[in-house]
Structure 1
């Protein structure tokens, strides 16, 4: 397989040229204008951010992409699907209100906002997965699949289960309906180390399935209710909740890659990833920790696999930010340095299997040529 081209621009600006101008130049250089947008419904998949979190992408970026699509004759809309966990994005009404609160409105972005899997997260389509080994029919939000053209606009950051959240996660997990998300998470479920549990109950607050109870001030998990989403692992500050299934994260990553294949296969698609505000956890959290790495820049490609690989490679070349969670971990007594910023941030996580499997099923290539704009 030939190396894919990934286009990159840094965040430096000159007088009269904004970062938004550079973003438009980047995606034009990467070839977005070769797509036939004429009267085509165009889904721009992004994350609107859980209220309380401040690291999600600003609406300004979405507007510049939407405006360009409109100038090329397309009919863009911003979209995301509902969540499994508690918060304010678990149904379409709350999800749209959250988007508005975080600045995403038709007036600020120049296009409409549609929640991809409907009011309750059950409006989906079963889509065949070409070369799927773990998922034969992915459950994707109907509005996402009804679009003629698909664009992903991703915030590249850390993630407590998948190592990092980039383009493939934005597409695969993000476009899955609620039952699609459950299918991806079903490979493994967390466990509790009672010796470390202090009974703070933060795990229960993050559990949408009410799977936690407490006996003697120690957390217990009802596995009939647990869907394995892993939110409790990130919520626990005492390392009392962990993933006992060694291949659970790998299975999640592989299913996520297959879901991404279902979303993009057979229609025009284009991908943008902004490596800024690199928080240790997902934008799904109602809070955000300080960035673990310096801002890097903006990337774009027709190949989502090459794009993720280029972004992670760029991150691994950076130095940890002093005082961040990553830096704290590296200075813990006896900490094992994995020589990987994302694994060092969340040692329970793993990311290689996602890109390996995505390449194996034909989603894209890990080999890339970086073109600086």
Structure 2
């Protein structure tokens, strides 16, 4: 039997003036072994989600500040990071992304460090990273700044997700660190399409494509020749009207396995540490420009060197809660009788597939020992 990974837990109680919640998070991280990482003079990437504008469930910047200060106290050079989104919204390029982060409170003054959007201005500054043992992904497209870092930390808002079922550490790392092309590879077969009503025939896609995939009809509008397309997503980045988009047609099980394989590309071969906060557990991703009420009460903070064990521990903690009576879990057609709230909220998904595959390819183990502080 595989050795259990250690997952450390602290609740959100702070009944005394002696310790506030950011201080409690720092104590949790140090108890979990964070101080054993050599960060002196090293670049430290802190991967988190800054929240789509309009969403209020994302982690407050105060949590990021606690991690940043801890990194600095150990001589590290921290930066907050995320990659641009594949979908059209407030975070599809680095300028909009940073502006959205600032609007949501993630300024250098509130967090103590700068933001670097890992895949650059248009989402195509990426590194091809081999995935050892990958069944679906042989080479992952990861944002360059993530791979340039010496130490990697994931700071995750644990929640539901409409496609993966659950948005935990693996989702935050695997999908979150993928460039726009990497996200497209995970969400579908890697081939974009053109919304004809939006296309203005400017041919920007043709100029950026090295393979001649964009084709133009008599009306001047583009289509994508999928036989020529290699899925680099550069056409998505340059289209001025957001006419070129991803199909999002990958089966949820394969999507979850690809997320696991992208996670392995990020964490292999360097020091990593993972924190998840089970707070404001919304049924959907923070990529939504809105958020529904939490599906369960707030639980606490978790930390581990093993992201697989961390996700399993967080999932178990959520499923042990009593569902919130005014939440999506009580919507018509939602069946919580199995006790799996994530599957109840999104019946077409199975979040466990991601963890099973992550364990299979050697990222970590689902077996854990929960240590409460």
Structure 2-normalised TM-score? 0.84
Q: Give distance in 2, aligned partners of 1:208 and 1:327.
A: 37
Match of 2:270 in 1: 267
Given the superposition, is the C-alpha separation of residues 286 and 65 from structure 1 closer, same or farther in structure 2, using an over 3 Å criterion? same
- Measured after TM superposition, the shift of residue 211 of structure 1 is 7.8
State the partner residue of 2:3: 2
Aligned residue pairs, count: 329
Unaligned runs of 5+ in 2: 199-222, 227-243
The residue aligned with 2:139 is 137
Q: Does 1:13 align with 2:4?
A: no
- 1:196 aligns to what? none
Which residue among 219, 236, 248 is the counterpart of 1:229? 248
Cα deviations across residues 7-41 of structure 1 (Å, max 9, x unaligned)? Answer: 00000112211111110110000000000001000
1:42 aligns with 2:61: no
Q: Which residue of 2 aligns with 1:300?
A: 303
| Contiguous gaps of at least 5 residues in structure 1 | 190-206, 214-221, 231-244
- Partner of 1:153, secondary structure, is strand
2:67 is aligned to: 65
Alignment match, 1:102:
104
The structure 2 residue matched to 1:158, chosen from 152, 157, 160, is 160
How far the C-alpha of 1:131 sits from its partner, in A, is 1.2
Q: Give the aligned CA root-mean-square deviation in angstroms.
A: 2.1
Partner of 2:317: 314
CA separation of 1:78/1:318 partners in 2, compared to 1, >3 Å: closer, same or farther? same
1:1-373 equivalence runs, <5 A: 1-16=2-17, 17-186=19-188, 210=195, 227-229=246-248, 248-329=251-332, 335=335, 337-373=337-373
Q: Residue 272 of structure 1 aligns to a residue in which SS?
A: strand
Q: Answer whether contact 1:45 1:171 (CA < 8 A) is retained.
A: yes
Moved over 4 A (4+): 222-226
SS across alignment from 2:246: coil
Name the CA distance, whole Å, in 2 between partners of 1:211 and 1:164: 33
Secondary structure, aligned partner of 1:5: strand
Contact 2:55 2:291 in 1 (8 A): yes
Deviation at 1:339, TM superposition (A): 2.8
Aligned to 1:298, the other structure's residue is in SS state strand
Distance 2:262 2:196 in 1: 26
Distance 2:103 2:82 in 1: 15
Equivalent-residue separation in structure 2 for 1:285 and 1:350 (angstroms): 20
Deviation of the 1:309 alpha carbon? 0.3
The alpha carbon displacement at 1:228 in A equals: 3.5
Q: Give the match's secondary structure for 1:89.
A: coil
TM-fit CA distance, 1:328:
1.8
Per-residue deviation, 1:56: 0.2
CA distance in 1, matches of 2:150, 2:98: 23
1:280 Cα deviation after fit: 0.6
* Cα separation, 2, equivalents of 1:351 and 1:185: 15
